[in-house]
Amino acid sequence: MITEEQIREKLAGVNYPGFSRDIISFGLVKGIEVSGDDVVVKISMATKDAAIPKEIHDKADAALKEIAGIGKVTLDFDITDPPEPVAGTPASASAGQSSIPGIKKIIAVGSGKGGVGKSTVSTNLAIALQRSGAKVGLCDCDLYGPSVAMMLGATDEQPLANENNEILPIEAHGIKAISMGFLISDDSPVIVRGPLATRYVQQFLRQCVWGDLDYLILDLPPGTGDIQLTIVQTVALDGAVIVTTPQEIALIDARKASAMFEKVNVPILGIVENMAWFECNHGEKYPIFGDGGGEKEAERLGVPLLAQIPLDVETRYRCDRGEPVAVLDPETDEISKIFRGLAGEVGDIVNA
Ligand SMILES: Nc1ncnc2c1ncn2[C@@H]1O[C@H](COP(=O)(O)OP(=O)(O)O)[C@@H](O)[C@H]1O
Ligand SMILES: [Mg+2]
C-alpha cells in the first residue's frame, strides 16, 4: 500500500533546477492522489523554460519509482506563463509573485556576505527616502541576526496585532518597521528552521498592516539560500540593491547574490560599496578593504555604482545607538548626504 506520505517524502528530495530548494517546500506540488499502487501528482509552475518542467518530471519520476511496489506514476503538470516583463516595469518571473496592495515599490537590499553593512544601508536608505518626502516601510527579513530594531532604537517596542490577527508595524524615525528583533528577546535564540522561517518572512510581508507606502525596503539575510529565494519569489520586487565591501572575498559573494536576482528577473538597481575607505583626521583616505571593487562589480553587471560609504566610527556608533546617521542634516553631515544621494538615485531608477 503506497501512502501519500511516502510520495511527499520522495518529492521533497527533488530540487527545483538551479536551486537548493525542493519542489515540495517551493509549494509547486498541488495535489497527490493515491489509488491502490498508482499515483497522480499535480505540479504547478510558472515558467517559459520548457527544460525546467522536463527536468522536474524526470527527477520526480525516477524518485517515485524507487518506492517498492509502486504502480503507475502520473505527473500532471500545469504550466503557466510568467507575467511578461515590460520595459520599465518590474519583472515578475516566478510562481506566486505579486505585489503587496498599497505598496508602490518594493526594494530588496542584499549581499552574499554577512557583515558588509546590509542592515546599515537598509536602515539609512529607508530613513533617507522618508526624509526626502516618501512614505517608507522597512522589513527586517534576517530572522537569525535581526538588527533593524536596534538600529532604529526600538528594541523595547512590541508590535501589536489587530483584530484580524495582522501585525501592526512599529514606527520609528518616521518609518514603519517590522523585525524579528521586535518579537524575540535578545537572549532567546531563534529556533525556526527552513520552512518555518520562510513562513515568518511571508507573514511579515503579507500580514503586516503597512498601509500606503511609497517604498518598502527589505533587509535580506546574508547568503543566497532558501529564505532569500522565498522572498525574491513571493513578492514582485521592483529591484535589488547589492551591498558589498571592496575586497575580493565580499565581491565573490556579491556576484552570487546578483546571479540569484538575475535568475528570478529582479532588476539590479546598482551596487553600494560600503566601508570603501577610512578617512583619518588629516583628511587622508585609506582603502582598508581595497580599492575599486564596487566600481569593477558595477561595471561587470552594467549597473550604476549607487554610493560609496566610508568606514566611519560615527556611522557604526549611531546605528548601535538607534540614531542612524541618515537622521542628521545632510547639509552638515557628509555621510547623511551620501545616504540622501543614494535614496535619490534609487528613487530615480525605480520610478523611471
Ligand atoms: N560604513 C560603516 N562604517 C562603520 N561601521 C559600519 C559601516 N557599515 C556597517 N558598519 C558596522 O558593521 C557591522 C555590520 O553591519 P550590518 O549593517 O549589521 O551588516 P549586515 O547587515 O550586512 O550583516 C555593524 O556593527 C555596523 O554598525
Ligand atoms: Mg543585517
Terminal alpha carbon distance of the chain: 59
* CB 213 within 8 Å of CB 135: yes
* CB 230 within 8 Å of CB 202: yes
User: Is residue 114 lining ligand 1, measured as CB closer than 6 Å?
Assistant: yes
Mean pLDDT, rounded, of the chain: 85
Q: What is the pLDDT of residue 87?
A: 33
DSSP 276: E
User: Is residue 319 lining ligand 1, measured as CB closer than 6 Å?
Assistant: yes
- Distance from the CA of 142 to the center of ligand 2, in angstroms? 6
Q: Which ligand is nearest to the CA of 311?
A: 1
User: Is residue 122 lining ligand 1, measured as CB closer than 6 Å?
Assistant: no
Q: What is the pLDDT of residue 186?
A: 56
Cα–Cα distance, 5 to 232 (Å, whole number):
29
pTM score, two decimals? 0.74
Q: What is the pLDDT of residue 86?
A: 33
Q: Look up residue 141 and give its amino acid.
A: C
Cα–Cα distance, 230 to 205 (Å, whole number):
11
User: Is residue 97 lining ligand 1, measured as CB closer than 6 Å?
Assistant: no
Question: To test the ligand 1 pocket, which listed residue (241, 316, 318, 334) has its Cβ within 8 A of the most ligand atoms?
Answer: 316
Q: Which ligand is nearest to the CA of 273?
A: 1
Q: Specify the residue with its C-alpha closest to ligand 1, atom 11.
A: 316
Which letter, b or e, does each residue of 117-156 get, where b requires 16 or more Cβ atoms within 10 Å of its Cβ?
Answer: bbbbbbbbbbbbbbbeebbbbbbbbbbeebbbbbbbbbee
The residue ranges of the chain whose pLDDT is under 70 are 18-21, 26, 81-98, 183-198, 227
Query: Mind giving me the DSSP string for 158-207?
Result: ---B-TTSPBPPEEETTEEEEEHHHHS-TTS-----HHHHHHHHHHHHHS
Q: Which atom of ligand 1 is nearest to the CA of 310?
A: 1
| Radius of gyration of the chain, Cα coordinates, nearest whole angstrom | 22
User: Is residue 309 lining ligand 1, measured as CB closer than 6 Å?
Assistant: yes
Q: Which atom of ligand 1 is nearest to the CA of 276?
A: 1
Q: What is the pLDDT of residue 11?
A: 95
Q: Which ligand is nearest to the CA of 142?
A: 2
Q: What is the pLDDT of residue 90?
A: 38
Q: Specify the residue with its C-alpha closest to ligand 1, atom 24.
A: 316
Q: Which atom of ligand 1 is nearest to the CA of 142?
A: 21
Domains and CATH numbers, the chain: 4-80 (3.30.300.130), 103-351 (3.40.50.300)
**Residue with C-alpha cell 522572498?**
231
- Distance from the CA of 115 to the center of ligand 2, in angstroms? 7
Q: Specify the residue with its C-alpha closest to ligand 1, atom 16.
A: 117
Q: Which atom of ligand 1 is nearest to the CA of 145?
A: 23
User: Is residue 176 lining ligand 1, measured as CB closer than 6 Å?
Assistant: no
Q: Specify the residue with its C-alpha closest to ligand 1, atom 17.
A: 117
Give the cell for residue 27: 509549494
- Distance from the CA of 218 to the center of ligand 2, in angstroms? 11
